[in-house]
Amino acid sequence: MENALVSTHYFFKHQKNFYRGKVRDVYYIKDQWLVMIACDRISAFDVVLKRAIPYKGQVLNQIASFFLDHAAQIVPVWKVASPDPNVTVGIACDAFKVEMVIRGYLAGHAWREYKSGKRTICGVHMPDGMRENDPFPEPIITPTIKASHGHDEDISREEILKQGLVSEADYAILEKYTRALYQQGKTITEKQNLILVDTKYEFGKNGNTIYLIDEIHTPDSSRYFYKDTYEAIQAKNQQQRQLSKEFVRQWLIENGFQGKAGQIQPDMSDEFIDSITNRYIELYEHITGRQFVRGDYSHIESRIENNVNACLATL
Give span(s): CATH 3.30.200.20, the chain.
15-94+257-312
pLDDT recorded at residue 288: 84
pLDDT recorded at residue 116: 97
* pLDDT, one tens digit for every residue, the chain (315 residues): 578 999 999 999 999 999 999 899 999 999 899 999 999 999 988 899 999 999 999 999 999 999 999 999 999 999 999 999 999 999 999 999 999 999 999 999 999 999 999 999 999 999 999 999 999 999 999 999 976 565 689 999 999 999 999 999 999 999 999 999 999 999 999 999 999 999 999 999 999 999 999 999 988 789 999 999 999 999 999 999 887 777 898 899 999 999 999 999 999 999 999 999 998 898 899 888 889 999 999 999 999 999 999 999 999
pLDDT recorded at residue 159: 96
Distances 308 to 89, 164, 241 between C-alpha atoms, Å: 8, 37, 38
Choose which CATH entry (3.30.470.20, 3.40.1190.20, 3.40.50.720, 3.30.420.40) describes domain 95-244.
Answer: 3.30.470.20
CATH of domain 15-94+257-312: 3.30.200.20
pLDDT recorded at residue 283: 81
Distances 15 to 10, 32, 214 between C-alpha atoms, Å: 9, 10, 19
Give span(s): CATH 3.30.470.20, the chain.
95-244
Distances 223 to 105, 131, 220, 243 between C-alpha atoms, Å: 10, 17, 8, 6
pLDDT recorded at residue 220: 79
* CA neighbor of 21 nearest in space, from 43, 52, 5, 45: 43
pLDDT recorded at residue 247: 82
pLDDT recorded at residue 48: 92
pLDDT recorded at residue 63: 95
* CA neighbor of 248 nearest in space, from 228, 231, 223: 223
pLDDT recorded at residue 279: 86
